[in-house]
Amino acid sequence: MSDTNLWEFRNLVLDLRDEAPHGFGDDRLLPWLDEHPEVLAELRELGQPDNHRRRIPRGDHVLHGLYALSRLVDILIAPYQPGNDDPDLLSWTTKGPWWGGPVPSVGAWTSFHAALGATPIAEDGFHPFFHEIVEVIPDEDPDARPVLVEEVWPGALLGGLVLVRGGVVVRAGGRHLDPAVASRSCLYSTWWRRNRVCRDLSHGWGGNSQWGTDFRRDYLVGDELHYNVDRAGQQHPNNPADDDTDLTADERRDLLRHRHSLVRDLGTERWPFHDALVEQWKRQ
């Protein structure tokens, strides 16, 4: 196990849940960062693009600390999402929302990622490495490829490491994206959205166990996109995805790239967690 200070993000999340007022923001987040320079230094080092070559083993505390940070990020982008009373969005264990604490101010996320030294994602062309689909506007041409229409929340890169993809509205033809499926199907490798079913490997666990979840590391490295770097080059002997005989190769790849279904709703029990990919990319 690696020594790390990133577990401090778990303490911050729990403190916000128990003590922060509704609409909290800079007054809670920025002083905390000032008090934890060692956390910032470690995080910025991990963000260096060359760290995509470092393989962090399953269950390592570094991945757990990054996962705690990802939960914080999910909370901070929540104000950009509409609420939804669908019972399918509730926790399996508590039957309440996955996040039971206050919702922050809209400006909390932008201030926080700026204080981390992260760079906003500013790609004009839609790409699933950089963008999470929030809404699909149907194009009259069924063969029309997805194009970016509007940003819902800003994504952020810390060095080359994706902290969170930008939430976007896209326009696309029906052969590429079904409007309902692409915007509402299960979002994998994600803890919480206010208006969408999510699945990560913490779900269903209680107490401390849920915090022992590995963060999926994706890196932008020059003109290459590296998805799930800690599983790259590994053949997992008991990968449930290998038993998904009704899943096409393209659908399996799409679940890794987009993290959700595109045209056919693939449900909530798939297993993209052990797959990895390196993809060539050119800025549009």
Measured between alpha carbons, how far is residue 126 from residues 43, 243, 278 in Å?
27, 31, 18
C-alpha dihedral (177, 182, 185, 188), degrees to nearest 10? 110
pLDDT tens, N- to C-terminus, the chain (284 residues): 678 999 999 999 999 999 999 999 999 999 999 999 999 999 999 999 999 999 999 889 999 999 999 999 999 999 999 888 888 888 877 888 889 999 999 999 999 999 999 999 999 999 999 999 999 999 999 999 999 999 999 999 999 999 999 999 999 999 999 999 999 999 999 999 999 999 999 987 766 788 999 999 999 999 999 999 999 977 766 777 777 788 999 999 999 999 999 999 999 999 999 999 999 998 76
pTM over 0.85: yes
Evaluated on CA atoms 51, 52, 55, 60, the torsion sign reads: positive
Query: What phi, psi does 55 have (nearest 5°)?
Result: -100, 115
